[in-house]
Amino acid sequence: MTVAYGKTAADLRDSRPVIPSKTIYGRYRKQLIAYGQWQPRPGIDAEPVRAHLRLLQEEAQLGLEAIASMTGVGVGTMQNILYGKPSEGKPAARTVLKSTADKLLGFWPTLDQLPGRVPVDATGTRRRVHALMRQGWSMTRIAAQIGSSGEALSRMIRRRTVLARLARAVRDVYDDLWDVPAPARTAADLRSVNRTKALAARRGYVTGMSWDDDTIDDPNARPDPGARVSRDQALAEDSDWLMTTQGLTVEQAAERLDVTRDYLDKARSRHQRRLTRQAAVTSLQAVYAALRAHRLQKAGQHEPAADVLPRLEARTVAALARRRRMRRPRPRDERPAARESDLQGLPGVHRVPRLGRPVRRPR
């Protein structure tokens, strides 16, 4: 036995022959086959993956290196899927691993990942510009924010597609200004703001509140303007929130809402009266519905709710109108004249030739 003097254990370990990984995998595979436990790695059809890769190259204009950095799939693997190995005479792969297919098929670049020259759908860009116009931002002001002219921006958003760099620029400006009213420091600025708002309203543009972040770029999505809120309701709800959560007084809440104390008090009072009136309508509708259901039950009849509710609403409105008329005194010219039959038999009143006020006999 020969002893290697002066050599450490690491030197002896490094001097051992290196077994290729393929050989280790082959031994492991044969062992599992002998035990009946071998399960080959599942592969799926490579044609959909190949078509998706070509779509990324043609429409998104992404190279294999860019796709590899975003998906984690090697460039060689994608080359094997697309072209095979011509130097070795191997055609394009017929199957790919499921994990590789999931990574590639589940990837599509976002707006930030696209090259600036790639055309994208102009729907989101157009909607963002229109929403800014509802805030009073003219096309010229929006274009100045992105380093363009108003005429060029107006012409570009009317197209079906815009460049990705323009879509990114408009998106960034919109994210900063979507809830900021356009400034009006001079009379000319004020005229421009009012003219832009009127134009946007006339053309039916909607505000940014009507869009969600995941629907503004969807061509099939429709704006959601929400329920209309009166100014009195908005002031009342905002002032209640400020006084409840922030601990502000009525004067401080009015100053924060940019209105006077007297105007805020009147708005809150009007809103409270409206709530009271709505509560009365709801209660009367419930009473009418219960009475009608009881009456129909006694008669052994049945009436669909769709036929009952419109009449209940009409009756409720009519009842409230009658109550208001009863509380309100009539003007003198609207009061009915006394009838002649009502005047007969009254002491001191004689028959008059025409209807009107009674005439008393002189004593």
Whether 158 contacts 150, CB under 8 Å: no
Sequence ranges of the domains in the chain: 43-105, 119-210, 239-324
CA angle 268, 274, 275 (to 5 degrees): 90
Q: Where are the alpha helices (DSSP H) in the chain?
A: 9-14, 21-35, 47-58, 64-71, 75-82, 98-105, 123-134, 139-145, 150-157, 164-177, 187-202, 231-245, 250-256, 261-299, 305-327, 340-343
**Six token digits for residue 35:** 């035990």
pTM of the model: 0.53
Convert the pLDDT of each residue in 270-316 to its tens digit: 888 888 887 877 777 777 777 777 777 777 665 544 444 455 555 56
Sign of CA dihedral 191, 195, 198, 200: negative
* Percent of the chain whose predicted confidence (pLDDT) is above 90: 23
Sorted by sequence, the CB contacts under 8 Å of residue 159 that are 6+ apart come out as: 122
Written as one letter, the residue type at 157 is: I
Residues 6+ away with beta carbon under 8 Å from 108: 56, 60
Intervals of the chain under pLDDT 50:
1-4, 304-309, 342-343, 346, 348-353, 355-356
Q: Determine the Cα–Cα distance for residues 245 and 297; give it in Å rounded to an integer.
A: 50
| Burial of residue 122 (number of CB atoms within 10 Å: 0-12, 13-18, 19+) | buried
Q: What percent of the chain has pLDDT over 70?
A: 74
C-beta of residue 84 within 8 angstroms of C-beta of residue 90:
yes
> pLDDT digits over 227-248, tens only?
566 778 888 888 888 888 888 8
